Amino acid sequence: MLVGILFAVVAMVLNTFGALLQAEGARRATRKRPAFLQPRYLAGIFTDLVAWGFAVLALRHLPVFAVQAVIGGTIALTAVLGARQIGVRLPTSTRIAVALCLTGLVLVAASAGSEPPHFRQRGVDVVLLVSLLLLAVAVLALRQGKHAWPLALVSGMGFGGTALSVRAAHVQTGDGFDLVQLLAQPSTYLVVGFWLVGMIGYTAALSRGDVGAVTAVFTVTEVLIPGMAGILLLGDPVRPGWGWVLAVGLAMAVAGTVVIAKAPPLRPPRVR
C-alpha cells in the first residue's frame, strides 16, 4: 500500500508541473502557432505522460478513489506555484478553500481498504465505451463555447476514465503481470480514447480560464466520479466503518473546489 501511495505522490508532483507548463503554452498560442506547437505545452504533455505512468503503477496497489485523491494534491501545488509564478499572493478565501480540498482528499485516501477487489461487475467495458462516446461528443460541443469550467469537468471525467480503465484491466488480470491477457482486455484500449478526450478538454479549458480554477474542477471531478464508479463496478474496497469518512471527505473537496472555481483569475501586479 505504501508503494502505491509513493507512486501516486510522484504522479501528483509531476501533474502540477505539467499543468503549469501546459497553461503557459496555451496562453502563448496563436492561430499561426497553436498550443500543440508551443514548446512549453509539449513539455507539459510529456510531463503528464510520465505522471500518468506513475499513476498506472499506483493503480496496481490502490483503489481508483485513493490514487486519484492523492493526485488531487495537484490543486494545492498548482494554486500556490501558479500564484508565485506571476508574483501575487493567494487570497485568504482561496487559501482556505485549498486547505479544505486537501483535507477532504486526505480523508478520501485514508478511507481506502487494503484488500484486493473481490469482484468486477459484468458489462464494465460496455459502460466505459458508452461513457467515452458521450464525453467525446460533449467535449466537441463545449469547445464552441467560452466557459472553462464545463470543459474542465469533462476533461476530469476523461482522465478519470483512463484510471478506471487501467484499474478494470488490473482487476480482471489479477496481481500478476500477463501482457497477453492484458492486451486481450477491451478496457486496455479504452485508456487511449479517454486520454484524448481528457487532453483536448483540458487544453481548451486552460485557454479560457485560470489554471488554478481549471485544475481544481478537473482534479476533484477526476477523484469523485471515477472513484465512486470504481467502488460500484470494480469492488474497490473501503475500510469497514469508514464510509462516513469517505462521504465527509468528498463533501469537503467539492466545497473547496466550488470556492476556487468561482474565484477571479489571478493577474500579475501592475508595474508602476
pLDDT 10s digits, 45-104: 899 889 988 988 888 777 888 887 788 777 777 777 877 777 788 888 888 988 888 888
Distance from chain centroid for Cα 72:
7
Report the alpha-carbon distance of residue 42 to residue 260 in Å, rounded: 27
Backbone angles phi, psi at 238, to 5 degrees: -115, 140
Sorted by sequence, the CB contacts under 8 Å of residue 174 that are 6+ apart come out as none
Q: What is residue 133's predicted lDDT score, i.e. its pLDDT? A: 95
Does this model's pTM top 0.85?
no
Helix (H) or strand (E) holding 11: helix 2-27
Q: Supply 109's cell numbers.
A: 485516501
Return the pLDDT at 47: 93
What does the radius of gyration of the chain's CA atoms come to, in whole angstroms?
18
Comparing C-alpha atoms, which of 76, 106, 83 is closest to residue 16?
Answer: 76
**What is the share, in percent, of the chain residues with pLDDT greater than 90?**
14
Task: State how far the Cα of 144 lies from the Cα of 267, in Å rounded to an integer.
Answer: 25
Residue 199 has pLDDT above 80, yes or no: yes
* Beta carbons of 11 and 163 less than 8 angstroms apart: no
What local confidence, expressed as pLDDT, does residue 155 receive? 92
* pLDDT tens track for 7-52: 988 998 998 888 888 877 877 777 777 777 788 888 988 998 899 8
Q: What is the pLDDT of residue 14?
A: 92
